[in-house]
């Protein structure tokens, strides 16, 4: 057996048998919202809300401090069939000026099960989605293996599709299934895709369930069959092997196929399978032990994992369980700019929508206070979240500092001046929610800090 194969097997065994207790240091877990139906995709939006899909066709928006959920749209065309339903979601990168929401869902067309990608427009005045526009359609669907994560990178929409229970689809470049697809944000096919006029970006995938872009790389998590769940780095025009190759190229037939078919091996694989699912990248000082890591949810293994990346971000150097998260099947996660981790569960029976037992939970360190450096200003704000009063302590030597407190819509609710000693601001009159506090030093903007009011 090759040395690299031995390394991977040893790393996998250590990951499955050993839990690093340090990962859980200073972590607090709370339920933000319950009574949900399989929140399939979570996206932390620029409005400081979590945008999410529910598998039964609802697109929603969650205020994470209060737990208030707004239903933005009910896509009545959505059809649940076992693993199928409403799936991935992405927000336009310039959402404040181009308020587009991209969603994937399964539907019936004359008794044929299919999948489509639709763009909706958000009306912030009425707080609803409207004007659905189909960008990509007639993707084969099935009771199993539909994908379908969405992610926008460099103004292109990446879409994962499963093989729809027909394994030859994955190696057929004329099929949209078993692929990572790439289209422009208006639905057109980019001219620099691997095959002219084809949405294909990579192929040989079984059923991708997670996708995140970080470190200039596109990371993907993918279900194996009875073996070899995978973490891949997706590259243009590469083959990822399914169904001929499962996991690494480590059998004689796989080695031959990999050499002949430009197959890229995963950076990590698991046997037995965990049912790997949604992922995000963590690099925030709230949890230093999680920095430079992929955070991954799992379904069958019911565990949240840290996948520590190596120095070049192209391999997994350590795997740890985040064992405080004990909510059975975990579907997806997102990370706020404040470093808080939000995770959705996937425990409602998919055969019907009457039982809604899923949750969105938050992982945070209640003792964490950032000390941001913005040119010549250093500040600490505590407590955060706050109930009645916040205290803002500035670096000594500063004076004539003005502050403004704004809501998420940019409206100024409070303003004032303070000096370089401890300053308290009474915020008990503010409604529960998230606010920005802007500091100015003699007319020059120096810092924008976020705090939560409970």
Does the pTM surpass 0.75? The reply is yes
Residue 182: per-residue pLDDT: 98
Enter the tokens of residue 282.
């963590």
User: What's residue 371's pLDDT?
Assistant: 41
Q: Output the CATH code of domain 373-453.
A: 2.60.40.3080
Per-domain boundaries in the chain = 3-364, 373-453
Per-residue model confidence (pLDDT) at position 384 = 81
Per-residue pLDDT of the chain (454 residues; tens, 9 = 90+): 454 555 455 555 444 444 444 577 689 999 999 999 999 999 999 888 999 999 999 999 999 999 999 999 999 999 999 999 999 999 998 898 899 999 999 999 999 999 999 999 999 999 999 999 999 999 999 999 999 999 999 999 999 999 999 999 999 999 999 999 999 999 999 999 999 999 999 999 999 999 999 999 999 999 999 999 999 999 999 999 999 999 999 999 999 999 999 999 999 999 999 999 999 999 888 999 999 999 999 999 999 999 999 999 999 999 999 999 999 999 999 999 889 999 999 999 987 677 899 999 999 998 876 544 434 445 677 788 888 888 777 655 555 678 888 876 667 788 887 755 557 888 888 888 888 887 776 655 456 778 888 7
Q: State the pLDDT at residue 401.
A: 76
Which residues are designated catalytic?
Answer: 145
CATH homologous superfamily of 3-364: TolB, C-terminal domain (2.120.10.30)
């Amino acid at each position: 057996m090759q040395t690299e194969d031995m390394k991977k097997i040893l790393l996998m065994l250590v990951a499955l048998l050993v839990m690093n207790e340090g990962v859980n240091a200073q972590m607090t877990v709370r339920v933000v919202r319950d009574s949900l139906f399989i929140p399939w995709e979570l996206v932390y939006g620029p409005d400081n809300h979590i945008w999410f899909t529910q598998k039964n066709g609802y697109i929603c928006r969650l205020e994470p401090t209060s737990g208030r959920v707004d239903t933005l749209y009910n896509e009545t065309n959505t059809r649940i069939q076992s693993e199928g339903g409403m799936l991935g979601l992405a927000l336009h990168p310039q959402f404040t000026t181009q308020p587009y929401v991209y969603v994937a869902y399964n539907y019936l067309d004359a008794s044929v099960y299919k999948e489509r990608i639709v763009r909706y427009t958000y009306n912030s005045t009425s707080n609803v989605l409207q004007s659905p526009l189909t960008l990509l359609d007639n993707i084969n669907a099935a009771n199993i293996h539909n994908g379908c994560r969405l992610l926008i990178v460099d103004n292109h929409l990446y879409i994962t599709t499963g093989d729809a229970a027909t394994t030859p689809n994955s190696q057929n470049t004329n099929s949209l299934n078993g692929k990572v697809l790439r289209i422009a944000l208006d639905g057109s096919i980019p001219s620099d895709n691997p095959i002219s006029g084809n949405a294909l970006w990579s192929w040989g995938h079984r059923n991708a369930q997670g996708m995140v872009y970080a470190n200039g790389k596109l990371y993907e998590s993918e279900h194996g069959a009875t073996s070899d769940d995978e973490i891949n780095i997706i590259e243009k025009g590469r083959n990822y092997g399914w169904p001929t190759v499962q996991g690494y190229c480590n059998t004689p037939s796989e080695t031959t196929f990999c050499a002949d078919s430009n197959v890229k091996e995963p950076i990590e694989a698991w046997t037995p399978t965990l049912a790997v699912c949604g992922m995000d990248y963590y690099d925030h000082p709230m949890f230093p032990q999680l920095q430079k890591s992929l955070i991954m949810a799992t379904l069958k293994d019911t565990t949240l994992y840290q996948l520590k990346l190596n120095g070049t971000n192209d391999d997994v150097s350590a795997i740890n369980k985040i064992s405080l998260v004990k909510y059975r099947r975990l579907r997806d996660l997102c990370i706020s700019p404040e470093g808080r981790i939000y995770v959705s569960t996937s425990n409602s029976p998919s055969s019907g929508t009457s039982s809604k037992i899923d949750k969105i939970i938050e992982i945070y360190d209640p003792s964490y206070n950032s000390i941001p450096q913005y040119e010549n200003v250093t500040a600490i704000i505590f407590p955060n979240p706050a109930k009645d009063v916040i205290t803002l302590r500035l670096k000594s030597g500063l004076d004539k500092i003005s502050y403004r407190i704004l809501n998420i819509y940019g409206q100024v609710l409070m303003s004032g001046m303070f000096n370089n000693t401890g300053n308290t601001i009474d915020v008990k009159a503010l409604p529960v929610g998230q606010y920005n506090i802007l500091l100015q030093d003699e007319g020059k903007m120096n810092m924008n800090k976020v705090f939560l009011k409970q």
